[in-house]
Chain A
Amino acid sequence: MPDPSKHTDPAGPAGLPGLAGPVGMNVDFAGVHLKNPVLVASGTFGYGSELSQEVDLNALGGVITKGISLRPRPGNPPPRIVETPSGMLNAIGLQNVGLEAFLNEKLPYLRRFDTRVIVNIFGESVDEYRAVASGLAGVAGVDALEVNVSCPNVKSGGIEFGTDVAQLKGLVSVLKGSTDKPLIVKLSPNVGRIADFARAAEDAGADGISLINTVIGMSIDPRTRRPRLANGTGGLSGPAIRPIAVRMVWEAARAVKIPVLGMGGILTADDALEFFLAGASAVAVGTATFVNPRAAPDLVEGLSRFVARENLPHISRLVGGVITGNA
């Protein structure tokens, strides 16, 4: 069972819905106060401004930005995406504007909204990770960092950190010393024992973990006999990976005391509820936004309705509430 002490319940044991918004939806995640536990996942919401016509950012718990590296990166050649059953493979290759342009051109927009900004960072080396983290230290409007140790699509996308416990610990320890911001470590699902990696992140000082990133996959065109992605392999996302994600969140949440941000194929409130019950304190919407640009705000509404209908004092009452074994 997860340690209930790590999940703040601002409504208190008595439960006073109505005090903190329409229903108890606010959560304290890794030291970041979220008005609701719904975020948008890195790489699925750009830098926040792209969907301004569809989504009021004020409605979201937080925005996790596209992964930021020290210098701009062009990304991989096309084709970068291919549709698969109930999902998609991508090999974008961490295309991004780089730290400086992010700070000057992208962050000011995000700061205009009453939502939390979590910057996803990555590097090709510990030094580069540290440089990005240092560059964001003390920056107003950045509420936390999400450390990407799990991009499967570039040689140096950090995945070696995410699939080697010792390297992960080393990286997180260094970053902890480079920033005043809460650190959320985004774990790779492409490992045998996710609990080991969750514990390594916690031991090294992470304030929270997020999972899962995409699952490495491949698709081949039988007519051309070539991979459908120029990169050969890519990261699988969408509802196809949801059961894997729920299982890994469940395993990780039981292994650590720090909070877990769950994601992987969430489309609807029911999907998200699986993650809360498995032990996630908050959830992120990813690929669903491609299908429905309003997926994240719709999820906030869906979860609020569920909490109200079930007469729950607070959504955090669900966290880790899966009933396993014989009652």
Chain B
Amino acid sequence: MRTHRAKIRERRDRTGPYRSLVLDAPALAEAARPGQFVMVRVSETTDPLLRRPFSLFRADGPAGTADILFRIMGRGTSMLDLLRAGDAIDVVGPLGRPFPSLPGQEIVLVGGGVGIPPLFFYAETLRRLEPARTVHVIMGGRTDGDLVVREEFERLGTLVQASTDDGSAGHAGVVTDLLQPFLGPARAILACGPAPMLRAVSEMAARSNTPCWVSVEERMACGLGVCMGCAVPVRSDHGPSYRLACTDGPVFEAREVLW
């Protein structure tokens, strides 16, 4: 069963317009893998009607908690921002295919804005399982507030580099400016962020034979593979076709996606 009535255990203001929620959802926490997402109902009424997808930011099986981290962007996230500890929300998940586990490889996580939280889940999980593994993080955003959970990444012992469009923190520019030294078949890239960023990362990975997976974002109604709304153009044996971000993804091998 993937439907949960989850009580909010904790709500936290993060940098800028970012917020995080700790949800009491033992079955979700137990099953969740990095890269998977949940569909959250932000209203009990019919407007807004649809659930909102959020990638999982953390999950702690023993504690029975799963966390999401979101940016206040529109009506749905504004309504979610009104909730407080003790309130309950309706959550479906975990959904979708997680990031691959990639044993033995040096990992390069590349994230932008709200694409950063699922990469943190990956890094934190990997730290627990293999404390010695080298994990690089390249995060970017428009401004310093978008470099969400940067300190948490540093506390994990990952090697963090950052870029901002406006130069307010880290390198003034984009994440791909920082990616060049990490390319090559000895490392693997996992990326999540806006489509132009994913496309640029995928192209650099392809040119350098760097294994690369991307977590894509597409509008979806159900998250369960039945509405077929979240089509992602991909290469296939019979030419271009579509796969679904919700059940075939959201994680795809970068070379598979047609940008």
**Given known A-B contacts A81-B220, A81-B221, A86-B47, A290 and B1 have beta carbons under 8 A apart:** no
**Interface of chain A: mostly helix, strand, loop or mixed:** loop
Rounded to whole Å, the gap between the CB of B25 and the closest CB of chain A is 15
Surface stretch bound by A, among B103-111, B137-145, B224-232: B224-232
CA distance A119 to B218 in the complex (A): 29
Contact A85 B47 (CB under 8 A): yes
Chain A residues with CB under 8 Å of B46's CB are: 86, 238-239, 267
**Interface of chain B: mostly helix, strand, loop or mixed:** loop
**Given known A-B contacts A77-B233, A85-B47, A290 and B227 have beta carbons under 8 A apart:** yes
Surface stretch bound by A, among B10-18, B48-56, B150-158: B48-56
B-side interface size class = 20 to 34
Nearest-neighbor residue (CB-CB) of A46 within chain B: B226
Contact B50 A291 (CB under 8 A): yes
Rounded to whole Å, the gap between the CB of A95 and the closest CB of chain B is 5
Asked whether any CB of chain B lies closer than 8 Å to the CB of A227, the reply is no
Rounded to whole Å, the gap between the CB of A298 and the closest CB of chain B is 11
Nearest-neighbor residue (CB-CB) of B41 within chain A: A291
**Given known A-B contacts A86-B49, A95-B242, A80 and B226 have beta carbons under 8 A apart:** no
A-side interface size class = 35 or more
User: Which chain B residues in 70-92 approach chain A with CB under 8 Å?
Assistant: 92
CA distance A156 to B1 in the complex (A): 39
Chain A residues with CB under 8 Å of B92's CB are: 293
Chain A residues with CB under 8 Å of B221's CB are: 81, 83, 88, 90, 287, 290
Chain B residues with CB under 8 Å of A74's CB are: 240-242
Rounded to whole Å, the gap between the CB of A15 and the closest CB of chain B is 35
Chain B residues with CB under 8 Å of A95's CB are: 228, 231, 242
Q: Which of B50, B225, B230, B241 contacts A88 (CB 8 A)?
A: B50
Rounded to whole Å, the gap between the CB of A222 and the closest CB of chain B is 14
Q: Which of B3, B50, B226, B232 contacts A78 (CB 8 A)?
A: B232
Chain B residues with CB under 8 Å of A239's CB are: 46, 49
Asked whether any CB of chain A lies closer than 8 Å to the CB of B247, the reply is yes
User: Which chain A residues in 52-106 approach chain B with CB under 8 Å?
Assistant: 53-54, 66, 74-83, 85-88, 90, 92, 95
Chain B residues with CB under 8 Å of A45's CB are: 226
**Contacts A51-B224, A81-B227 known; 13 new A-B pairs at CB < 8 A:** A74-B242, A77-B231, A80-B231, A81-B230, A83-B48, A83-B49, A88-B49, A88-B221, A92-B228, A289-B226, A290-B222, A293-B92, A293-B224
